[in-house]
Amino acid sequence: MSLALARRASAEFAGTALLVAAVVGSGIAATRLSPDDVGLQLLENAVATALALGALILMFGPVSGAHFNPVVSAVDWWLGRRAGTGLTGRDLAAYAAAQTGGAAAGTVLAHLMFGLPAVTWSRTGRAEGHLWLAEVVATAGLVVLVFALARSGRTAAAPAAVGAWIGAAYWFTSSTSFANPAVTVGRALTDTFAGIAPASVPGFVAAQLVGGVVAVAALAVWYPHAADTADAVVLPHLTRENEAR
pLDDT in tens, 116-139: 999 999 999 999 999 999 999 999
Looking at the chain, the whole-number percentage of residues with pLDDT higher than 90 is: 91
| Domain covering 3-243 assigned CATH 1.20.1080.10 in the classification | yes
Bond before 234 cis per omega within 30 degrees: yes
Residue 237 pLDDT: 67
Q: Is the pLDDT of residue 242 over 60?
A: no
Residue 245 pLDDT: 41
For 192-225, what is each residue's pLDDT tens digit? 999 999 999 999 999 999 999 999 999 999 999 9
Cβ–Cβ under 8 Å, residues 213 and 202: no
Q: Is the pLDDT of residue 244 over 50?
A: no
Mean per-residue pLDDT over the chain, rounded: 95
pTM: 0.95
Cβ–Cβ under 8 Å, residues 189 and 108: yes
- Cα separation, 17 vs 187, whole angstroms: 11
Q: Is the pLDDT of residue 98 over 70?
A: yes
Q: How far is CA 175 from CA 70, 89, 164, 221, 235, in A?
A: 19, 31, 17, 27, 27
- For residues 177-190, give the mean pLDDT: 98
Residue 236 pLDDT: 73
**93 confidence band (pLDDT: 50, 70, 90):** very high
- Cα separation, 241 vs 132, whole angstroms: 41
Cβ–Cβ under 8 Å, residues 234 and 155: yes
- Cα separation, 159 vs 163, whole angstroms: 6
Run of H or E residues at 63: helix 38-64
Distance of alpha carbon 111 from the chain centroid: 20
